Structure 1
Amino acid sequence: MVCPRCVMAVEGLLKSMKVDFDRVELGQVLFSHTPEELFLKAFEEKLAVLGFALARSRESVWVETTKLALIDLLEGEGDLKREAPLSELLSQKTGLPYSRLSQLFSSFEGMSIEQYFIGLKIEKAKEWLSYETLNISEIAWSLDYSSVQHFSGQFKKVTGMTPSQYKKSNEKSRMFLDQIGEAR
């Protein structure tokens, strides 16, 4: 779950299943009591219909926590121009050494944390280019690129076109942030 509508959908599902829960947050449900396995199976099936999955292993929870932390950072709940390195931030969020987290992430997602974060940043750039809210220099700066050239090069490597070409294009394909990595 990566948006308020996702939270509302899961809350609605839980209410329709008449189950007690404390709250639903991005990526997690806090239950009043430990749910029974029979409920979890039914809940998992209904989540799948909504396009969500239930994370059952510690490893998958760490990977999802990493993805949510990166999305939060990108969506403004963090500071892209942060003082601490990204590796330190993610280690703090998950409680794992970055080397272990990086290995887990790669094995679960088939890409590195850095590749995933680049994908998130490029999707955010595509959003801003589509809505023409920022110019290319402002986008590069907002996404913490060292230069417009670096941003443009990375954008072209990921999308096959420059930011200017994308902006002028009639076909502006985009992905939801929670779908980054699924197309690989």
Structure 2
Amino acid sequence: MNLYLKYNLEKTCRVVLQEQLEQLGLDYTIAGSGNIVLGHNTEREVYNMLIDRLNYYGIEIVDDKKGMMVQRTKDAIIEMLNSKDLPVHKISSYLSEKVGANYRSISQAFSEVCCISLESFIIIHKIERAKKLLTNENMSLTEIAYALHYSSVAHLSNQFKKITGLTPTAFHKVIMHKRNYLSSLN
């Protein structure tokens, strides 16, 4: 029997983090996605145990400057795209303000650490957001293009097809067909 799963990676990671931190008896606060503040008296031995436990689940503690900048950048992009109101100014200005570094430094560090350009990362995540809006919200393609700050529906459609292999309309039809089929099984 095949089981097909749908899961929320952020929620899963948060649960794993909480379990491991509590098992080690650490005083902590989750300050945001990918950001935990530990109490002041964390012993080095316990910290190393936390590193090992998290590595088991594929979670790494980022402790170098470039890595931290990249993680803050990723968090800012995800936060920006999941916000109801994207920033009105350029994304480069938004990221510079959020990360506290100039855009060129952010972009270079991102490419070096992630082996993907910052622009490609943003496009991929914008398309993921567009897919969610197409499947979960009652928004037109024009509204989605506007919400994600695309210059036109054609621009969104071109990037969508380049990333997914489908036009947004074809993607929506496939999802609706799948939903109808699954609901007819119940």
> Do they superpose with TM above 0.5?
yes
For the structure 1 residues 24 and 42, does the alpha-carbon distance in structure 2 shift closer, same or farther, using more than 3 Å as the test? farther
Give 1:49's aligned residue: 56
* Identity over aligned pairs, percent: 33
Contact 2:161 2:167 in 1 (8 A): yes
Question: Which one of 17, 29, 32 corresponds to residue 10 of structure 1?
Answer: 17
Structure 1 position 135, deviation (Å): 2.2
Q: How does 1:24-173 map to 2 (within 5 A)?
A: 24-33=31-40, 35-76=42-83, 79-80=85-86, 82-131=87-136, 133-169=138-174
- More off after superposition, 92-101 vs 148-157: 92-101
Contact 2:26 2:39 in 1 (8 A): no
Q: RMSD of aligned C-alpha atoms?
A: 2.4
Give 2:181's aligned residue: none
Contact 2:28 2:38 in 1 (8 A): yes
Flag structure 1 segments of 5+ consecutive residues without an equivalent: 173-184
Q: Higher helix proportion, which one?
A: 2
In 1, the alpha carbon distance for the partners of 2:72 and 2:173 equals 36
Flag structure 2 segments of 5+ consecutive residues without an equivalent: 1-8, 179-186
Aligned residues: 170
For the structure 1 residues 106 and 147, does the alpha-carbon distance in structure 2 shift closer, same or farther, using more than 3 Å as the test? same
Give 1:181's aligned residue: none
Q: Which has the larger radius of gyration?
A: 2
For the structure 1 residues 133 and 12, does the alpha-carbon distance in structure 2 shift closer, same or farther, using more than 3 Å as the test? farther
TM-score normalised to structure 2 length: 0.80
In 2, the alpha carbon distance for the partners of 1:36 and 1:98 equals 36
In 2, the alpha carbon distance for the partners of 1:36 and 1:91 equals 34
For the structure 1 residues 23 and 160, does the alpha-carbon distance in structure 2 shift closer, same or farther, using more than 3 Å as the test? closer
Structure 1 position 139, deviation (Å): 1.4
Structure 1 position 133, deviation (Å): 2.8
For the structure 1 residues 69 and 156, does the alpha-carbon distance in structure 2 shift closer, same or farther, using more than 3 Å as the test? same
Contact 1:11 1:24 in 2 (8 A): no
Higher relative contact order by CA 8 Å / sep ≥ 6: 1 or 2? 1
Contact 1:27 1:68 in 2 (8 A): yes
TM-score normalised to structure 1 length: 0.81
Give 1:182's aligned residue: none
In 2, the alpha carbon distance for the partners of 1:55 and 1:166 equals 36
In 2, the alpha carbon distance for the partners of 1:88 and 1:24 equals 23
For the structure 1 residues 126 and 138, does the alpha-carbon distance in structure 2 shift closer, same or farther, using more than 3 Å as the test? same
Extract structure 1 runs of 4+ deviating beyond 4 A.
none
